[in-house]
Amino acid sequence: MGRLFGTDGVRGVANADLTAELALGLSVAAAHVLAEAGTFEGHRPVAVVGRDPRASGEFLEAAVVAGLASAGVDVRRVGVLPTPAVAYLTGALGADLGVMLSASHNAMPDNGIKFFARGGHKLADELEDRIEETYHAHAAGEPWDRPTGAGVGRVTTYDQGFDNYVAHLIGVLPNRLDGLKVVIDGAHGAAARVSPEAFARAGAEVITIGTEPDGLNINDGCGSTHLAKLRAAVVEHGADLGVAHDGDADRCLAVDATGAEVDGDQILAVLALAMRDAGGLRKDTVVATVMSNLGFKLAMEREGLSLVQTAVGDRYVLEEMKRSGFALGGEQSGHVIVLDHATTGDGTLTGLMLAARVAATGRSLADLAGVMERLPQILINVPDVDKSRVTTSPEVRIAVTDAERELGATGRVLLRPSGTEPLVRVMVEAADIEQARSVAGRLADVVKSALG
């Protein structure tokens, strides 16, 4: 697998890349590294373990639980719950560690392991590195120091996790959703029970699709990566809006009453104004990535709000929010972080807050989302090139300068090397789709000839 930890934990094809042996070994390594770091000092350690409904999650959960307990960690199994629920419960229960088994929006054969530190925060990069080093050392034959007798971890099922998490979501909503009709697409994933329950308790009339997980159908033609069924259901039922989650429900996309998509940028724009009006948007600033639509930036400027942009990835958004004390951030893909109420992206919370804004204002979601105009965005992947030279090639630099001059203030160019493949992503935004397509095509040709 190369390096085990990626930007969002360890992920791969379950039982091929991500085996029971790997899951067990990483869990033991995590326990030892955290013990050495002083996390467990003075008390008996506790971990919260949850998963999404993938069939492979059953054996991987068993491996993780076995590994932690064998290392002397008491385990609270919370079952099938969203990633943000496991993060929340890790903090709420005062646990030393949280573990989520999910591959998010990936297809069913994949799975992943994500660790949370005390408080439900992402594990520090240096701790992930040490866990990986420790795992490899012991996989090579170095023996573990294992507790015996009363020192081994005890395993219990924590059935209250579902109700505790839903109560938390309802408790942070600014207002109820009475009078709203909402369609929820649970992606046959981790939010299949949680999201409909939370919306119903908040007062909404709820219609569900994608809420019958069988372990094999997660993300299959449904959820935030496949919006067609949600669009059709919203129109068919005359709903006010629709909400779509991914497999582990850390993201949310929406559709308005006409069935039109409301993406992460538009959701961020709606929530930014809601939080500003309520006095909760610290420093009047939103954090987003460089891939956010230029229309989002222009809308925030029009509203007198500041925008801080980071590298692509919700981890970079979160790091900037923590570093600078900002309250709201997110990505176009629907990862939205409301830091006062969650330590990670929370799709159910995002959907609830979006619906709450509709209910509070009496305005349609289409009207609210109209605060920003999505400029046409063309993305071309240029494969088999030397991506390391994208910022140093004179030919590419001249082509980018010419493109920016042609587009002016209402357009944007972004060239980004892929983090995992030998390709460069060429992204162009412009007020006119044909102009965006033309400029992107010319830039892609230059990248191919100069770096190929």
DSSP 380-392: EEEESS-GGGTTT
**Shared domain check, 123 and 20:** yes
Min mean pLDDT across 244-253, 279-288, 305-314 is at 305-314
**Shared domain check, 260 and 143:** no
Number of domains, the chain: 3
- Domain end, chosen from 313, 338, 369, is at 369
The label of the residue with tokens 């949680």 reads: 194
**The pair of three-digit structure tokens given for residue 332, joined into one six-digit string:** 């176009």
Report helix, strand or coil for 251: coil
**Per-residue pLDDT at 191:** 97
Pairing of strands 261-262, 252-256: antiparallel
**Per-residue pLDDT at 420:** 67
Q: Which residue would you say has higher pLDDT here, 390 or 181?
A: 181
Cα atoms found within 13 Å of the Cα of residue 29, Cβ hemisphere only: 22
**The pair of three-digit structure tokens given for residue 431, joined into one six-digit string:** 């007020």
**The pair of three-digit structure tokens given for residue 52, joined into one six-digit string:** 């999404």
The range of the structural domain enclosing residue 103 comes to: 5-161
Q: Is the pLDDT of residue 358 over 50?
A: yes
| Mean pLDDT score across all residues of the chain | 95
Helices and strands, number each (H, E), in the chain: 14, 19
**Shared domain check, 328 and 272:** yes
pLDDT class for 9, splitting at 50, 70, 90?
confident
C-alpha–C-alpha distance, residues 213 and 24, integer Å = 26
Residues 220, 275: contact at Cβ < 8 Å?
A: no
Where helices occur in 310-432 by DSSP H, the ranges are 314-324, 347-361, 365-369, 394-407
Q: What is the residue-wise DSSP string for 51-98?
A: E-S-HHHHHHHHHHHHHHHHTT-EEEEEEE--HHHHHHHHHHTT-SEE
Crossing angle of helices 347-361 and 264-277, rounded to 10°: 60
**Shared domain check, 155 and 211:** no
C-alpha–C-alpha distance, residues 300 and 19, integer Å = 46
pLDDT class for 315, splitting at 50, 70, 90?
confident
Q: What is the pLDDT of residues 111-133, one digit of tens each?
A: 999 999 999 999 988 999 999 99
For residue 194, the one-letter residue type is V
Active-site residue flag, 449 = no
Q: Is the pLDDT of residue 1 over 50?
A: no
Average pLDDT score over residue span 258-269: 97
What's the CATH number where 325 sits?
3.40.120.10
The label of the residue with tokens 């412009």 reads: 430
**Shared domain check, 305 and 411:** no
Residues 246, 314: contact at Cβ < 8 Å?
A: no
Q: What is the pLDDT of residues 232-251, one digit of tens each?
A: 999 999 999 999 999 999 99
Average pLDDT score over residue span 388-406: 92
- Domain end, chosen from 161, 191, 225, is at 161
Average pLDDT score over residue span 414-425: 84
Residues 6+ apart with CB under 8 A from 124: 117
Which among 104, 195, 224, 333 is annotated as catalytic?
Answer: 104
Where helices occur in 228-346 by DSSP H, the ranges are 228-237, 264-277, 294-302, 314-324
> How do the residues of the chain divide into helix, strand and coil, expressed in percent and rounded to 5?
40, 20, 35
**The pair of three-digit structure tokens given for residue 211, joined into one six-digit string:** 């809420």
C-alpha–C-alpha distance, residues 29 and 113, integer Å = 13
Q: How many CB atoms neighbour CB 160 within 10 A?
A: 13
Q: Is the pLDDT of residue 8 over 90?
A: no
**Shared domain check, 124 and 30:** yes
Q: How far is CA 293 from CA 115, 200, 202, 263, in A?
A: 31, 33, 32, 10
Residues 292, 309: contact at Cβ < 8 Å?
A: yes
Q: Which of 225, 133, 195 minimizes the C-alpha distance to 355? A: 195
pLDDT class for 422, splitting at 50, 70, 90?
confident
- Beta partners for residue 309, in sequence order: 288
**Shared domain check, 387 and 278:** no
DSSP 342: -
**Shared domain check, 313 and 226:** yes
**Shared domain check, 71 and 201:** no
**Per-residue pLDDT at 2:** 59
Query: 307: part of which helix (H) or strand (E)?
Result: strand 306-310
Average pLDDT score over residue span 37-46: 94
Judging by beta carbons within 10 Å of its beta carbon (0-12, 13-18, 19+), is residue 302 exposed, middle or buried? exposed
Report helix, strand or coil for 176: coil
**Shared domain check, 422 and 331:** no
C-alpha–C-alpha distance, residues 56 and 48, integer Å = 19
Residues 155, 127: contact at Cβ < 8 Å?
A: no
**Shared domain check, 358 and 237:** yes
Report helix, strand or coil for 26: helix
**Shared domain check, 365 and 234:** yes
Average pLDDT score over residue span 59-81: 98
C-alpha–C-alpha distance, residues 306 and 292, integer Å = 14
Report helix, strand or coil for 121: coil
What's the CATH number where 406 sits?
3.30.310.50
- Domain end, chosen from 127, 161, 195, is at 161
